[in-house]
């Protein structure tokens, strides 16, 4: 199927990607290539032991660690981390972890313009974007700036083998959501579409293998490759209803990020199929169901992903408010947002039904 369009704009970031099992050991070389000599290593508290491992990989270039990265990048933590980065006089940030860790490195970079080397340990895809989501007083806002775009990404499949299998599945579906929405983005280009299709294919082929054998390095590598492609799509084009619903549910009801993405995806795709059926054909072809929403629902179910928002702690009485919030300040979406249809979508996602076709 041709992805040719007779008119488009393509924005691609200048990012150096180094990919391969064990590639984290090249960290010292990458720091040197940036002309840096003083690295601050950033991660979460549960991954603090990794900060020490990475400090050792940096050798004499390691000048500090900060292990308080937290979901949704709270501004008070970012400000403390920035003050620490300034105090120790670091000249490069090394982020080792998932989207929360990358978010903290980006938040420091926003305030200091320091270069970033990101070593992802989930599939969230934040490392490939110039977008930073941060929270203050329970309000999540998003900024886009070239300052937050990481300069170097090291994708090392060995690091992802420790990701528990339930998180592996939901994080993969989180990444796939970037690609799925990228297919109908109004600013899509042939490049973003090719990346999206290949990213979805990589997860389709490799995720079932990872589920059976979590430390299969080759399959883990292919999923990580998928995460890079899907994250790159997120960095290139605008997202729509699916991401709006997930941000609403995460921001206002404190639902966990990757799990929420995993549950909403089939429903959002089914909703938008009415408007852009031809743009979603690649999903049908890849996952073997004429209905792309159903195709993703079946894949998620086969992978053992959570299917019902009620299992994440959401209460049914909150669905009306969630629908109202989704209607407020909507993102661009290929199908106009209809309050009743959005409420029905949320109901199906709440109980875990297949998407309404």
Only segment of 28-36, 87-95, 129-137, 289-297 that touches ligand NAD (CB under 6 A):
129-137
Three-state SS at 42: strand
Angle, helix 339-351 to helix 319-327, in steps of 10 degrees = 140
From CA 69, how far away is CA 46, in angstroms rounded? Answer: 10
From CA 71, how far away is CA 21, in angstroms rounded? Answer: 27
CB of 220 to ligand NAD, least distance (A): 10
CB of 157 to ligand NAD, least distance (A): 11
CB of 284 to ligand NAD, least distance (A): 26
With tokens 């003083």, the residue in question is: 38
Which position among 17, 71, 110, 143 is part of the footprint of ligand NAD (CB under 6 A)? Answer: 71
Specify the residue, 108 or 124, whose C-beta has the smaller distance to ligand NAD.
124
| 125: contact with ligand NAD by CB under 6 A | yes
| 221: contact with ligand NAD by CB under 6 A | no
Residues 289-328 that bind ligand NAD (CB under 6 A): none
Specify the residue, 200 or 294, whose C-beta has the smaller distance to ligand NAD.
200
What are phi and psi for residue 85, nearest 5 degrees? -60, -40
Interface with ligand NAD: number of residues (CB under 6 A)? 28
| 100: contact with ligand NAD by CB under 6 A | yes
| 121: contact with ligand NAD by CB under 6 A | yes
From CA 258, how far away is CA 29, in angstroms rounded? Answer: 33
Which position among 36, 118, 160, 239 is part of the footprint of ligand NAD (CB under 6 A)? Answer: 160
Neighbours of 270 (CB within 10 A): 23
CB of 106 to ligand NAD, least distance (A): 7
| 89: contact with ligand NAD by CB under 6 A | no
- Cα separations (Å) of 172 from 72, 86, 94, 210, 228? 19, 35, 23, 11, 11
Strand partners, 140: 135
CB 271 within 8 A of CB 184: no
| 147: contact with ligand NAD by CB under 6 A | no
Spatial neighbors of 144 by CB under 8 A, at least 6 apart, are 130, 131, 132
Binding site for ligand NAD (CB under 6 A): 44, 46-47, 71-72, 97-101, 103, 121-122, 124-126, 129, 131-133, 159-160, 162-163, 171, 234, 257-258
């Amino acid at each position: 199927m041709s992805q040719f369009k007779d008119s488009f704009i393509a924005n691609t970031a200048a990012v150096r990607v180094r990919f391969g099992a064990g590639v984290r050991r090249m960290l010292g070389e990458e720091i040197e290539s940036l002309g840096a000599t003083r690295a601050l290593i950033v991660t979460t508290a549960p991954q603090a032991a990794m900060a020490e491992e990475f400090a050792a990989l940096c050798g004499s270039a390691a000048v500090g660690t900060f292990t308080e990265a937290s979901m949704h990048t709270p501004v008070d933590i970012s400000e403390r981390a920035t003050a620490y980065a300034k105090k120790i006089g670091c000249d490069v940030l090394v982020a080792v972890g998932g989207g929360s860790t990358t978010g903290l490195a980006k938040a420091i970079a926003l305030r200091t313009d320091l270069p970033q080397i990101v070593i992802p340990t989930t599939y969230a895809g934040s490392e490939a974007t110039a977008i930073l989501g941060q929270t203050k007083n329970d309000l999540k806002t998003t900024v886009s700036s070239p300052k937050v775009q990481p300069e170097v990404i090291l994708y090392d499949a060995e690091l992802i083998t420790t990701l528990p299998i339930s998180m592996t599945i939901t994080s993969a579906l989180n990444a796939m959501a970037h690609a799925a929405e990228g297919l109908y983005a109004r600013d899509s280009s042939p490049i973003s579409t090719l990346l999206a299709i290949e990213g979805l294919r990589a997860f389709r082929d490799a995720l079932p293998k990872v589920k059976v054998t979590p430390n299969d390095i080759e399959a883990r590598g292919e999923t990580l490759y998928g995460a890079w492609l899907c994250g790159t799509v997120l960095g290139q084009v605008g997202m729509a209803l699916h991401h709006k619903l997930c941000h609403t549910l995460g921001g206002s009801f404190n639902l966990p990020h990757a799990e929420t993405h995993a549950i909403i995806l089939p429903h959002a795709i089914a909703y938008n199929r009415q408007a852009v059926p031809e743009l979603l054909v690649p999903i049908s072809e890849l996952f073997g169901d004429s209905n792309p929403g159903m195709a993703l629902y079946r894949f998620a179910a086969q992978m053992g992903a959570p299917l019902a928002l009620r299992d994440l702690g959401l209460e049914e009485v909150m669905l009306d408010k969630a629908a109202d919030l989704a209607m407020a300040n909507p993102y661009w979406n290929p199908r106009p947002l209809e309050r009743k249809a959005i409420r029905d979508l949320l109901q199906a996602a709440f109980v875990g039904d297949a998407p309404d076709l």
